[in-house]
């Protein structure tokens, strides 16, 4: 987000209309960008916003709670024995605030249409 905004002129994009899209586990990454943007990453002193202006979440892994998690994604990110705090922190549906960007999302149907 920071890089795209800083180089917006070079890339030919509006720095105030930068979003992120992700599929499946990439949807988790995108939703994490949209819900954890206030947490500093690294030691940068740059004030460029890393808050996405919008999210496109396609078949996203949103939650790591026991009854909703995609087990493989949760294990890959949090390991075999995640703490309750880790599960809560990376269950992005629990991190939504008034500042969370507007998402467009698509999830698979819960029943087969045929």
Over residues 21-31, the pLDDT tens digits come to 999 888 889 99
Poorest-pLDDT segment among 41-45, 57-61, 108-112:
108-112
Spell out the domains of the chain, with CATH numbers in brackets: 2-41+49-106 (3.40.50.1820)
pLDDT at 108: 60
DSSP string spanning 18-55? --EEEETHHHHHHHHHHHSTTS--TT---------SEE
Residue 112, pLDDT above cutoff 70: no
pLDDT at 114: 46
Show the tokens assigned to 1.
Answer: 């987000």
Rounded to two decimals, the pTM is 0.82
Residue-wise pLDDT tens digits, 55-68: 999 988 887 776 77
Whether the CB-CB separation of 20 and 56 falls below 8 Å is answered with yes
Whether the CB-CB separation of 1 and 55 falls below 8 Å is answered with no
Whether the CB-CB separation of 93 and 62 falls below 8 Å is answered with yes
């Amino acid at each position: 987000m920071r890089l795209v905004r800083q180089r917006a002129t070079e890339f030919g994009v509006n720095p105030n209309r930068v979003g992120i899209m992700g599929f499946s586990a990439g949807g988790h990454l995108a939703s994490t960008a949209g819900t954890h943007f206030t947490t500093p990453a690294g030691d940068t002193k740059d004030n460029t916003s890393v808050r996405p202006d919008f999210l496109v979440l396609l078949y996203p892994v949103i939650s790591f709670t026991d009854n909703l998690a995609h087990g493989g994604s949760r294990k890959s990110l949090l390991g075999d024995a995640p703490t309750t705090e880790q599960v809560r922190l990376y269950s992005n549906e629990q991190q939504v605030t008034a500042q969370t960007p507007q998402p467009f999302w698509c999830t698979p149907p819960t029943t087969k249409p045929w």
